[in-house]
Structure 1
Amino acid sequence: MSTDLDQRLAAMLQHRAGGDVDPTPIVAYARRRGRRLRLRRRSLIAGGAAAACAVLAAVVMVVPTGRAPDAAPLTPAALALPDAPGQPGAVARPEVVGSDPGVVHFATPVLVGDAEAATWTAGRGVESVEFRGRTGQARFALARSAATLDGLQQTLSSAGRPQQRTDVRVEGRPGVAWFDPSGDRQLWFVRWQPTDGLWAQLDIYAAGRDEATGAASRVRFDGAHRCVVPFRLRSLPAGARLLECSVTLGRSARDPFLEGSLVVGDGSGRWLTVRAQPAPGDGSRAGDLAAGPYRARRQGDDVLEMRVEPCVVEAFLAGWGRGYTEADGLAVLGGYQPARDLDRPTSW
């Protein structure tokens, strides 16, 4: 019995008959297909799809732009956030960096040019993007103090043997660079001040210091972009506000939205995370808990899960949260409002 993948492979090869076969769209589709199968297997084992579609709270939404044929890769712009008209870049207003979870005050169009996925995060004092692709993986982070950067968890693997720091300059600004061996690669760290009162760091696998600092020089600080997710949170606990936004976008033309989350909390140190991601075709078990117009269920002791097509949505009360009760989580999920178009971030 032929499958959708068989038909697509046959169509691609027939189209390329008589010439060189470009494996890129075939590989891209196979990866997306594998991700869907993994999600389906996970949902069957756990008794329901586990993931979540949560990003910006009561004030932000995100959705990728129109669908293209599934085999056609998107341009690098597919991994970029929508513009934030009227918002300043980091160099113009360093004091606003990390203070607004709805805005990222930098851009990395060249660095993410051949990436397959990029995760953008803003809020709680930091703005960052982490991306991965055929040529490797990297993370860029921006904060108003070096101590904030020191507090970030390292996300790229290394041998754990950082070498001595050396002075460098990035676009004429002073900084330092060091590396940590990682098998046959070197994980380089470049830290510099794009302007007074602002600290930036690029973690990247590179052949040497010059390549790493050259990559750092490609970050732009002259514009701002909206951190968006394809949903809103209409019901927050008393005194709570949006603390952080995170969204992962992929290069796929068919399903560019991979995951989004929003962190909400208050001044007393309480916070919880709502996460959303596209769900497999056959869904979770019906829940026995009321969450506004939805039905939710417990996923362990500290996670609430519900399905709101086409996503699985989770509220994390511990681990990715602290201090809020199950009743608070259900109230927040009850105010979940999905975007109409999951494929068009500019409309979120």
Structure 2
Amino acid sequence: MTDLDERIVHTLRERAEGGVDTDRLLAAAVARGRTRVRRRRAAAGAMLSVVALLGAGVAAGAVGVHGVIPAIDPDVPSESGRPVAVVPPLADGVPGAAARPDMVGADPNLLHIGIARGGPRFLSWAVQAGVEVAQFDAGGRTVTLELAASAEALRLSPPEGLSSEMAELLGRSPYDGTVSSIAAPNGARRWLLHWRPTPGLYARADVVAPEDGELHTVANSLRLDQAYHCGGPLRLTAVPAGAEVTSCEVKVASFPAGFDVLLSITSGIRAGIAVRLNYAASIVASRTEGNLTIGGRAAYRSPIGALELLGFPRAHLTAVWMGDAEADAATVLGGAQVAEHLDQPETW
């Protein structure tokens, strides 16, 4: 276990007998550039901060419970060539945002952001706090696209790096296709596009670039006719009674070198579980013998307190928890469904 894992678990254990110090967790997350957690509810905020910390392992050196996986740099092509486009797997039979705009952001297990064939490449996607968000590579620029069923949800979910000038722009946006901009470093500008793709649906796109062309590239490629499984190759089928999945985030920027899935589950205000599936093509060996079984499968519990379900080639499926939720974490891992071929997104 790395120092990052130890800090996460130590913080969870330290706060297990009392109220969750969300400010402390949030400060750690913000230090890693994950300022979005500031707008979560207090109950979900602590777990999402843990998810943010787990996600930091992708850049700093992805971690399994028992060792370190070589770092995945989303800006460096894999050994087999440049990163390959990955799209979220379809959720058959679930209506898209055009038919049910009220469902956008309502279920963290479902994503409603689609992209036209041949359009910009997904870098990541997520559902949290009533907002769906995806990042795309559009001509070498990273464009962030957000969807919500209300303007209020987007207002409560401001872009990272919010300035007072930008806050003013966001506050007066009419969602009529207007493009706004403010100065950005190195002579660039930060462009924002607000529009309503369909009645009952609100969208915001954001990019730092000399001009606003990439915003329109992404907006014009948006598809709203289908729904998708947010967790990609990971499905959680055994969520404890009274608990719910409260956030989902998937990073695929470096695929086929690797990808990362982060899910959080909360129950009440003091209990929660963070689940992570990390795949890296560079993993050549994994632990095969555990010290317990979960759902009839070998698993490993670290001395400090984290669980890993074993047996996934080139991947680690782990969970950490708050309070006395270890049994619930084991239940969640026991019911986890993972795609057989993690290196083949079409099978997810």
Matched, 1:126 2:131: yes
Task: For 2:324 and 2:221, locate their aligned partners in 1 and report how far apart those are by CA, in whole Å.
Answer: 38
C-alpha displacement of 1:314: 1.9
Using the TM superposition, give the Cα deviation of residue 243 of structure 1 relative to its aligned residue in structure 2, in angstroms: 3.7
Aligned residue number for residue 154 of structure 2: 149
Name the CA distance, whole Å, in 2 between partners of 1:192 and 1:299.
51
Give the 3 Å change call, closer, same or farther, for CA 109–324 of structure 1 in structure 2. farther
Relative to 1, partners in 2 of residues 1:102 and 1:335: Cα closer, same or farther, differing over 3 Å?
Answer: closer
Question: Which residue number corresponds to residue 43 of structure 2?
Answer: none
Matching of residues 83-232 of structure 1 within 5 Å: 83-109=90-116, 113=120, 115=121, 118-122=123-127, 124-132=129-137, 135-152=140-157, 154-155=159-160, 162=166, 165=169, 173-175=176-178, 177-208=180-211, 210-211=212-213, 214-215=216-217, 217-227=219-229, 228-232=231-235
How far apart, CA to CA, are the structure 2 residues paired with 1:169 and 1:109? 26
Q: How many residues align?
A: 278
Secondary structure (helix, strand or coil) at the match of 2:264 reads: strand
Change (3 A) 1:304 1:85: closer
Secondary structure of the equivalent of 2:222? Answer: coil
Q: In structure 2, what is the Cα distance between the partners aligned to 1:43 and 1:176?
A: 41
Which residue does 1:15 correspond to in 2?
none
1:347 deviates by 2.7
Q: Distance in 2 between matches of 1:308 and 1:207?
A: 47
Amino acid at match of 1:330: A
Aligned to 2:238: 235
User: What is the one-letter code of the residue matched to 2:181?
Assistant: W
Match for residue 291 of structure 1 among 267, 291, 294: 294
Amino acid at match of 1:128: V
Change beyond 3 A, Cα 1:164–1:336: closer
Provide the C-alpha distance between the structure 2 equivalents of 1:344 and 1:89, rounded to a whole number of angstroms: 24
Distance 1:101 1:282, change over 3 A: same
**Residue pair 1:49, 1:283 contacting (<8 A) in 2 also:** no
Describe the superposition over 1:32-91 as per-residue Cα deviations: whole angstroms up to 9, x where unpaired: xxxxxx9997669x851379xxxxxxxxxxxxxxxxx9736576xx32223445443323
Distance 1:306 1:179 in 2: 47
- Give unmatched runs, 5+ long, in structure 2: 1-57, 71-77
Does the 8 A contact of 1:79 with 1:112 survive in 2?
no
- Partner deviation per Cα, 1:254-278 (whole Å, 9 max, x = no partner): x365111333344768542211112
SS in 2 for 1:79: coil
Q: Output aligned runs, 1:229-308, within 5 Å.
A: 229-250=232-253, 252=255, 255=256, 258-266=259-267, 270-279=271-280, 280-283=283-286, 288=291, 290-292=293-295, 293-298=297-302, 300=304, 303-308=306-311
Post-superposition offset of 1:130? 1.7
Distance 2:114 2:346 in 1: 16
Superposed displacement of residue 129, structure 1: 0.7
Greater share of residues in helix: 2
1:50 touches 1:305 (CA, 8 Å); kept in 2? no
CA distance in 2, matches of 1:102, 1:118: 18
Give the letter aligned to residue 199 of structure 1: Y
User: If you compute each CA radius of gyration, which structure gives the higher value, 1 or 2?
Assistant: 1
Structure 1 unmatched runs, 5+: 1-37, 52-68
Distance 1:273 1:291 in 2: 17
Distance 1:149 1:159, change over 3 A: closer
User: 1:24 is matched with which residue?
Assistant: none
Query: Contact 2:184 / 2:208 at 8 angstroms: preserved in 1?
Result: no
1:190–1:277 distance in 2 versus 1, CA, 3 Å: same
8 Å contact 1:110–1:218 — kept in the other structure?
no
Match in the other structure for 2:340: 340
Q: Indicate the residue corresponding to 1:4 in structure 2.
A: none
Whole-angstrom CA distance in 2 between matches of 1:81 and 1:308: 24
Alignment check: 8 A CA contact 1:185 1:206 kept? yes
TM-score by length of 2: 0.63
Q: CA deviation at 1:94?
A: 1.3
TM-score for the superposition, normalised by structure 1: 0.63
In structure 2, relative to structure 1, the CA distance for the partners of 1:223 and 1:300 (3 Å cut) is farther
Q: Assess if the C-alpha contact under 8 Å between 1:120 and 1:128 holds in 2.
A: yes
Query: 8 Å contact 1:168–1:176 — kept in the other structure?
Result: no
Asked if structure 1 preserves the Cα contact closer than 8 Å seen for 2:261 and 2:277, the reply is yes
Match of 1:317 among 291, 316, 321: 321
Distance 1:267 1:185 in 2: 44
